[in-house]
């Protein structure tokens, strides 16, 4: 199953995961990072600013999980814009090496296949950051997504649109469709790191980590992965039945193992 690490707060989670990413880049300067958007991964990106400062990151590559369909990439809430603002610019990455699915309507029919081919050409993703939606989605794989799915167009649930309305003027401005890496795509990454903070994520985390495998709860797909790490604060861990065991395991883990 996934390794669960319960940390003090989101800053501690950011530092823990950033340290892992720095180690990855030290060993492999052209590492391929799987980038997530939303509020959850922000502490990781923040911690990376100081940890990567002064290092050569010119070879680092990245693939975002998802993008809205039909939203101008120049819109401040397109995931292209978010990745540029939160990741590429502050970390000094080469924008030509950082990919985001193409949500343009004109080319949407082959955009999924193109993205899969680009990930394959890069040799796959080394470390995939993931948030989880209150409905259990990872990427934008809404409930019902096949565990074998590849990058494709999905329809956002009303709950996801409402959750994301905070980034837009109104819920009516949140696009109805997205293009997202599939669960099968995500499962091909070599290391999954799922983060979640706050009480609102507690049920989704418990279902993903300890619940039955089900397309109804896309996050449960991480149970199929040989190297998945779930980093949560106490509130997001509050519905985990084995929380004490996870704390004990991590406290007694040899330091050389990392996460
Ligand atoms: P959030 O979104 O990080 O903004 O909570 C997570 C998700 O929808 O995957």
Share of the chain above pLDDT 90, in %: 96
Name which residue sits closest to atom 4 of ligand 1, judged by CA.
Answer: 38
44 lines ligand 1 (CB under 6 A): no
- Out of 116, 142, 163, 233, pick the active-site residue: 142
The pLDDT, as a whole number, for residue 255 is 83
The pLDDT tens digits for 139-157 are: 999 999 999 999 999 999 9
pTM of this structure: 0.96
What CATH number belongs to 3-257? 3.40.50.1360
From residue 105, alpha-carbon distances to 69, 101, 185 in Å are: 7, 12, 22
Summary mean pLDDT of the chain:
97
Active site residue 142: yes
Active site residue 137: yes
Dist CA 139 CA 192 (whole Å): 12
Query: Ligand 1: which of 131, 180, 202 to mutate, judged by most atoms within 8 Å of the beta carbon?
Result: 131
What average pLDDT score do residues 153-170 get?
A: 94
Q: Which residues are paired to 33 by β-bridges?
A: 62, 127
3-state helix, strand, coil in the chain (%, to 5): 45, 15, 40
The pLDDT tens digits for 1-56 are: 799 999 999 999 999 999 999 999 999 999 999 999 999 999 999 999 999 999 99
Active site residue 135: yes
Active site residue 56: no
């Amino acid at each position: 199953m996934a390794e669960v690490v319960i940390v003090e707060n989101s800053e501690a989670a950011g530092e823990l995961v950033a340290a892992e990413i720095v180690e990855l880049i030290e060993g492999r300067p052209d590492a391929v990072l799987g980038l997530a958007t939303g509020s959850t991964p922000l502490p990781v990106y923040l911690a990376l600013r100081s940890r990567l400062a002064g290092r050569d990151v010119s070879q680092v590559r990245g693939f975002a999980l998802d993008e809205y369909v039909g939203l101008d990439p120049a819109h401040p809430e397109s995931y292209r814009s978010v990745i540029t603002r939160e990741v590429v610019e502050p970390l000094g990455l080469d924008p030509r090496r950082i990919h985001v699915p193409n949500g343009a309507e004109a080319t949407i029919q082959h955009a999924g296949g193109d993205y899969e081919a680009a990930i394959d050409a890069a040799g796959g993703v080394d470390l995939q950051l993931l948030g989880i939606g209150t409905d259990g989605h990872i990427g934008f794989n809404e409930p019902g997504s096949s565990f074998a799915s590849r990058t494709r167009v999905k329809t956002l649930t009303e709950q996801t649109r409402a959750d994301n309305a905070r980034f837009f003027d109104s819920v009516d401005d949140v696009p109805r469709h997205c293009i997202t890496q599939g669960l099968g795509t995500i499962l091909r990454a070599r290391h999954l790191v799922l983060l979640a903070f706050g009480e609102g994520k507690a049920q989704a985390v418990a279902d993903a980590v300890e619940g039955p495998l089900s397309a109804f709860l896309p996050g449960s797909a991480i149970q199929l992965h040989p190297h998945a790490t779930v980093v949560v604060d106490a509130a997001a861990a509050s519905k985990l039945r084995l929380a004490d065991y996870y704390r004990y395991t991590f406290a007694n883990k040899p330091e050389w193992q990392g996460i």
